[in-house]
Amino acid sequence: MYLQDLRDDLVELDRQSLRRARRTLETPCGPHARVDGAPCLAFCSNDYLGLAGDPRLAEALAEGAARWGAGSGASHLVSGHYAAHDQLEAELAAWCGCDRSLSFSTGYMANLAAVSALAGRGDAIFADRLNHASLVDGALLSGATFKRYPHRDTAALEAALAASSARHKLIVSDTVFSMDGDVAPLPALLDLAERHDALLLLDDAHGLGVLGPEGAGALAHFGLRSERIVLVGTLGKAAGLAGAFVAGSQTVIEWLLQKARSYIFTTAAPPALAHALLCAVRLVRDADPARAQLAQLVARLREGLADVPWTLADSMTPIQPLITGSNDSALALASGLRERGIWVPAIRPPTVPRGSARLRISLSAAHTRADVDQLLAALGELAAAS
């Protein structure tokens, strides 16, 4: 019985502490939220620069709606491509140091499009084992041979590239890993791409706005530029709004414009959003003080967590995972914090590998030092009780 099977599987999720539930926010995105009727201090979002609730962005959105109306009316290749989209694409390309960019409605769609349009039957995709789900889905959709290498293991990647006789080779990696906060060895990946005539697709969802001069992301952080790099950036995280883009050489972007199915067969994002995103890009580029504040908060948190009984991951980014191991221990720690008015999400499989459940603490420039100290005090109490 179909429906009974679904009910049984839901019960099984409960049994493994894997059933997820949403909580409902009653205030705009920010560290001090009201959630399910109670106030709380949140360390959950990817709003690293505190822009999601910034009144300047809300104003730009209203201004965009007044200028462009509500909807785009069609897909980009039919009649949904507006001057605001065009201007945004030019700004994004210039910011990231690429020839050209193509805007998408979400990062999930951008990754699906880029991976599946750049590789197909007869080609091979080489992917870090901890890559984001959207990159995995793109690879499965592409029909290419899909090889996953151990996390950040460039020797294993090199061996796999050397052993492959695929026509085209595409290396795919997150720049900053979303559940670990560590950074991929980009110079070594680019070197391998050059030596094996591969393209290198990098997902900078958590690097853009956070790393590099003007927050230009992981490429700027490492000072890398190459025709072989295809960069995916998202605009719903540090940029505080929604949307994404793929940036790269003229050739790659023109190819995606012709072939990327999740670009072609979907309604273009509202031009009002593109208008507001132009403002978001300016705010992110000018946010050096916020990035400095963020670096101080990261240092403070890591110093304060030196002695806890859980494993603090080796991360220099605002993503600071505290690995507890079992699903139950991660949930217990999250619920201990919740009783103390603090919200940190427990991340469990399949988002992370089995046995590595964790609290994913994420910091924002909108947090104060006092906020971080409050989290540290609560974790200290829970550590003493554990």
> What is d(CA 290, CA 171) in angstroms, rounded to the nearest whole number?
33
Which of 45, 111, 262, 362 is in the footprint of ligand PLP by CB under 6 A?
Answer: 111
> Does position 244 bind ligand PLP by CB under 6 A?
yes
Residue window 161-200: x/- pattern of binding to ligand PLP, with contact defined by CB under 6 A: -------------x---x----------------------
- Between 69 and 349, name the residue whose CB sits nearer to ligand PLP: 349
> Does position 236 bind ligand PLP by CB under 6 A?
yes
> What is d(CA 294, CA 288) in angstroms, rounded to the nearest whole number?
10
Which of these segments, 137-145, 203-211, 336-344, 369-377, binds ligand PLP (CB under 6 A)? Answer: 203-211
Closest of 106, 88, 114 to residue 256, by C-alpha: 114
- Between 206 and 329, name the residue whose CB sits nearer to ligand PLP: 206
Number of residues that bind ligand PLP (CB under 6 A): 14
> Does position 152 bind ligand PLP by CB under 6 A?
no
> Does position 317 bind ligand PLP by CB under 6 A?
no
Residue 311 forms beta bridges with which residues?
323
- Between 108 and 149, name the residue whose CB sits nearer to ligand PLP: 108
Letter string b/e over residues 259-283, b meaning 16 or more CB atoms within 10 A of that residue's CB: ebebbbebebbbbbbbbbbbbbbeb
Which of these segments, 102-110, 213-221, 253-261, 378-386, binds ligand PLP (CB under 6 A)? Answer: 102-110
> Does position 128 bind ligand PLP by CB under 6 A?
no
Map the footprint of ligand PLP across residues 321-360, applying CB under 6 A: none
Which of 108, 245, 263, 343 is in the footprint of ligand PLP by CB under 6 A?
Answer: 108
CB of 49 to ligand PLP, least distance (A): 15
Which of these segments, 36-44, 106-114, 212-220, 257-265, binds ligand PLP (CB under 6 A)? Answer: 106-114
Letter string b/e over residues 110-140, b meaning 16 or more CB atoms within 10 A of that residue's CB: bbbbbbbbbbeeebbbbbbebbbebbbebbe
> Does position 107 bind ligand PLP by CB under 6 A?
yes
Which of 91, 128, 182, 203 is in the footprint of ligand PLP by CB under 6 A?
Answer: 203
Closest of 285, 127, 145 to residue 216, by C-alpha: 285
Map the footprint of ligand PLP across residues 216-235, applying CB under 6 A: 234
The residue of the chain with the least Cβ separation from ligand PLP equals 107
- Between 248 and 379, name the residue whose CB sits nearer to ligand PLP: 248
> What is d(CA 133, CA 334) in angstroms, rounded to the nearest whole number?
24
CB of 12 to ligand PLP, least distance (A): 27
Chain residues binding ligand PLP by CB under 6 A are 106-108, 111, 132, 134, 174, 178, 203, 205-206, 234, 236, 244
